[in-house]
């Protein structure tokens, strides 16, 4: 067999496979394709109960912020908190140096003790021994008086007999008068010992005691002022002074550098959300009303708030009146931070049994709002709308429950919405 014929026979299978492959490629490229029509979506007009809400922007703010400083200038001896610590009302935050006041306190306590003892002595009166001594003195003087009277009677008898002179008789009379005077004086001393001290002396002693107690209270108050306590429950936001620093009294609410540099620390109360509500929406809010709060930092973790204050004075920003509404926030984990932005939603009521249609189904034709009814062909139906809640709009006129409206349209059949021109005389744009 010739060589060329042998080579031709050998290449026949290769040629056949190539022809089949080329035919398959041609068929795949030029095969008839079915025209897939886009799916037309519709929606049914229904009746629903819709919540009526007011959504405004808000900001997380502390209820109040103050700078803590001592009442008198001094040196910080001890600091018990750090930045970020949560403290309770009355908790000790820092202590000032009180060495000088301790000595004054001891002195004042001694003065109070001495004044109290003097008052007790005057109120108790004289001791029984002193009264007994005065009684013995009275008895002694009475005995002397009795003896003087006996001497006087005897001398009177002797004078009448001419046994003694007039001078001796007068001397006896003088001795008796002196004994009577001493007896009167002894009785007065006994009465004073029995009755105690005069009311004026007791009143004076009581006044001295009160004066000493007042001095003691002043020093004790000054000592208490060296202990800085939290005036309310909150968070320590800044530390301005460390132990050993000299600080002076400042205005508690001041934030200027001169004030904060002389304060010990800054304390902020619990966070709350301050929302700015338009004037028209204010009548629908009330104290105690709850709201849903979504912070920008935690979009998937809504918080619950409660209105605790509604401002009585409006705030004007860019010629728009709004009122600040403060809400207490349930934030047990303390995730909110001052300065965070948040969206606040108030539910102010419901629309019961409202006829609604998806908002995306509403179009405008012939300068009227309406929908396209799912008919063949679709028909434009003018409607009158009410409030829009989320993705649905209330229909007050033009539709009935059960009507079907178009949400999407076949290719080339979407209606052209007529929008009035912003420039008079140009007519509607197509």
Q: What is the pLDDT along the chain (430 residues), one digit of tens a residue?
A: 555 444 444 544 544 545 555 555 555 555 555 455 556 788 899 998 888 888 899 999 888 888 888 888 889 999 999 988 889 999 999 999 988 888 888 889 999 999 888 878 776 665 666 666 767 787 777 888 788 888 878 878 877 877 778 887 788 888 888 888 887 887 777 666 665 566 777 788 888 889 999 999 999 998 998 999 999 888 888 899 899 888 888 755 454 444 555 688 888 888 889 999 988 888 889 999 999 999 999 988 999 999 999 999 988 888 888 999 999 998 878 888 888 999 999 988 888 888 999 998 898 887 888 998 988 888 898 999 887 777 888 999 989 888 899 987 655 545 554 433 332 333 333 3
Is the preceding omega at residue 109 within 30 degrees of 0, hence cis? no
Backbone angles phi, psi at 31, to 5 degrees: -70, 150
* CATH fold for the domain made of 271-406: Elongation Factor Tu (Ef-tu); domain 3 (2.40.30)
User: 247 in helix, strand or coil?
Assistant: strand
**CATH number of 65-97+226-269, picked from 3.20.20.100, 2.40.50.100, 3.40.50.620, 2.30.40.10:** 2.40.50.100
Identify any residues that bridge with 341 across adjacent strands, giving them in sequence order: 59
Q: Where exactly are the structural domains of the chain? A: 65-97+226-269, 104-214, 271-406
End-to-end CA distance of the chain: 82
Question: Which pair of tokens denotes residue 243?
Answer: 């132990």
| CA 317 – CA 129 distance, rounded (Å) | 90
Rg, C-alpha atoms of the chain: 54
Give the global pTM.
0.51
**CATH number of 104-214, picked from 2.60.120, 2.60.40, 2.170.130, 1.20.120:** 1.20.120
The residue whose two tokens read 């301050």 is 274
Return the number of other C-beta atoms located less than 10 Å from residue 406's C-beta: 22
């Amino acid at each position: 067999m010739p060589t060329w014929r042998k080579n031709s026979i050998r290449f026949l299978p290769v040629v056949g496979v190539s022809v089949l492959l080329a035919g398959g490629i041609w068929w795949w490229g030029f095969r008839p394709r079915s025209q897939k029509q886009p799916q037309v979506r519709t929606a049914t007009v229904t009746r629903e109960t819709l919540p009526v809400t007011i959504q405004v922007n808000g900001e997380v703010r502390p209820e109040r912020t103050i700078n803590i400083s001592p009442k008198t200038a001094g040196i910080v001896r001890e600091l018990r908190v750090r930045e970020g610590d949560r403290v309770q009302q009355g908790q000790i935050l820092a202590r000032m140096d009180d060495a000088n006041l301790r000595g004054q306190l001891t002195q004042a306590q001694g003065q109070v003790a001495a004044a109290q003892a003097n008052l007790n002595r005057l109120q108790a009166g004289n001791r029984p021994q002193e009264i007994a001594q005065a009684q013995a003195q009275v008895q002694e003087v009475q005995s002397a008086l009795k003896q003087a009277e006996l001497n006087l009677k005897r001398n009177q008898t002797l004078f009448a007999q001419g046994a003694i002179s007039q001078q001796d008789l007068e001397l006896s009379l003088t001795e008796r008068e002196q004994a009577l005077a001493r007896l009167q004086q002894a009785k007065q001393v006994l009465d004073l010992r029995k009755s105690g001290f005069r009311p004026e002396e007791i009143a004076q002693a009581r006044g001295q005691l009160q004066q000493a107690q007042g001095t003691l209270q002043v020093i004790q108050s000054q000592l208490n002022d060296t202990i800085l306590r939290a005036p309310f429950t909150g968070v320590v936001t800044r530390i301005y002074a460390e132990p050993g620093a000299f600080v002076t009294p400042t205005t508690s609410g001041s934030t200027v550098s001169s004030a904060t540099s002389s304060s010990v620390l800054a304390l902020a109360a619990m966070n709350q959300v301050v929302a700015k509500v338009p004037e028209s929406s204010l009548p629908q809010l009330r104290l105690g009303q709850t709201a849903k709060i979504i912070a920008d930092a935690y979009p998937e973790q809504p918080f619950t708030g409660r209105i605790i204050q509604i401002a009585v004075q409006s705030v004007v920003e860019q010629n728009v009146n709004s009122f600040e509404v403060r809400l207490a926030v349930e934030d047990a984990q303390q995730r909110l931070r001052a300065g965070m932005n948040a969206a606040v939603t108030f539910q102010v009521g419901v629309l019961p049994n409202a006829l609604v249609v998806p908002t995306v189904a509403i179009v405008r034709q012939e300068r009227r709002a309406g929908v396209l009814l799912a008919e063949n062909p679709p028909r434009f139906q003018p409607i009158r709308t009410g409030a829009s809640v989320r993705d649905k709009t209330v229909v007050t006129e033009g539709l009935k429950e059960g009507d079907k409206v178009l949400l999407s349209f076949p290719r080339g059949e979407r209606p052209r919405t007529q929008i009035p021109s912003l420039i008079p005389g140009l007519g509607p744009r197509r």
